[in-house]
C-alpha cells in the first residue's frame, strides 16, 4: 500500500486521451515561458523548494475511469494549471487536494470556467463555497444525498472524505502526490508503468 503523504494534490482531466493532455500541458507551460527538456543537468545550486526552481516536473497518468491525472511538482502553481488545462482541452478538470487530516478541498472547472469550489478550511481557498451537490451530480455518479452527507460529515475526516469524493467521480490515485511518485513510491498506484514524466525549464 502506498505511503500517505502529508499533502496530496493533483489535477484530474475528464478525458480518455492521455496524448491530448500531454500536449496541452506542454502548450500551457510554453505560454508560461517553459521549454520541454529530455535530459537535465543537475544544478548543485538549484533551490530545493520547487516553487522557487526554474525546473518544473510532472507525472501524467493514462486514462483510468475516464480521467487523466496530472501530478505537478510545483504545489503552488498547480492551482493555476487546472483552469488552463480546462480551457485548452475544453473539458472538465478537477483540482483535488488534501492535507492529511487537517483539510481537503477541490476546484471544478469546465471549459476554463470555475464551476464549483470547496474547502473545509475557509482560509485556504479565497471565495470557496460550501460545495454545490446539484452541480457535482452533473459531473459524477454521485447523488444529491451522497454529496450532502459528505459535506455534512467531511470536515473532521479530511483524507477519508477526499477519497470518498474521488470515488464518486471515478478518479483513481487521488491519494498520490508528485513527491511520492518521484521518490519511487508507486505501490497501490493504478497503471504507474504507463505514467509519462515531463520536465520543463523556464527560459
**What are the beta bridge partners of residue 107?**
95, 117
pTM for the model: 0.90
What's the pLDDT score for residue 93? 98
Grid cell 494549471 in the structure block, residue = 81
Please state the three-class secondary structure of 81-139 as a single string: HHHHHHHHHCCEEEEEEEECCCEEEEEEEECCEEEEEEECCCCCCCCCEECCHHHHHCC
Q: Which residues contact 80 (CB under 8 A, 6 or more apart)?
A: none
What's the pLDDT score for residue 1? 39
Domain boundaries, the chain: 8-39+51-202
In this prediction, the residues of the chain whose per-residue pLDDT falls under 50 are 1-4
What's the pLDDT score for residue 159? 74
In the chain the first and final C-alpha atoms are separated, in Å, by: 39
Contact 55, 200 (CB under 8 A): yes
pLDDT digits (tens, 9 = 90+) for 99-153: 877 788 899 999 999 999 998 876 666 656 678 999 999 999 999 999 998 888 7
Kind and range of the H or E element at 70?
Answer: strand 67-72
What's the pLDDT score for residue 103? 82
Orientation angle between helical segments 144-153 and 158-169, nearest 10 degrees: 170
Contact 172, 67 (CB under 8 A): yes
Strands (E), 4-66: 8-14, 34-36, 55-60
Count of H-run helices and E-run strands, the chain: 6, 8
Amino acid at each position: 500500500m502506498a505511503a500517505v503523504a502529508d499533502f496530496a494534490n493533483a489535477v484530474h482531466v475528464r478525458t480518455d486521451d492521455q496524448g491530448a493532455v500531454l500536449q496541452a500541458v506542454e502548450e500551457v507551460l510554453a505560454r508560461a515561458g517553459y521549454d520541454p527538456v529530455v535530459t537535465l543537468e543537475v544544478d548543485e545550486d538549484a533551490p530545493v523548494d520547487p516553487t522557487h526552481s526554474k525546473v518544473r516536473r510532472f507525472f501524467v497518468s493514462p486514462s483510468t475511469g475516464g480521467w487523466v491525472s496530472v501530478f505537478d511538482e510545483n504545489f503552488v502553481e498547480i492551482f493555476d494549471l487546472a483552469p488552463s488545462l480546462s480551457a485548452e482541452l475544453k473539458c472538465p478538470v478537477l483540482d483535488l487536494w488534501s492535507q492529511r487530516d487537517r483539510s481537503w478541498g477541490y476546484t471544478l472547472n469546465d471549459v476554463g470556467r470555475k464551476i464549483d469550489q470547496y474547502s473545509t478550511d475557509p482560509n485556504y481557498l479565497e471565495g470557496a463555497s460550501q460545495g454545490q451537490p446539484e452541480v457535482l451530480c452533473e459531473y459524477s455518479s454521485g447523488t444529491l444525498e451522497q454529496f450532502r452527507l459528505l459535506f455534512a460529515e467531511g470536515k473532521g475526516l479530511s483524507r477519508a472524505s477526499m477519497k470518498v469524493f474521488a470515488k464518486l467521480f471515478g478518479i483513481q490515485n487521488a491519494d498520490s502526490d508528485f513527491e511520492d511518485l518521484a521518490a519511487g513510491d508507486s505501490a497501490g498506484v493504478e497503471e504507474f508503468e504507463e505514467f509519462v514524466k515531463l520536465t520543463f525549464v523556464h527560459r
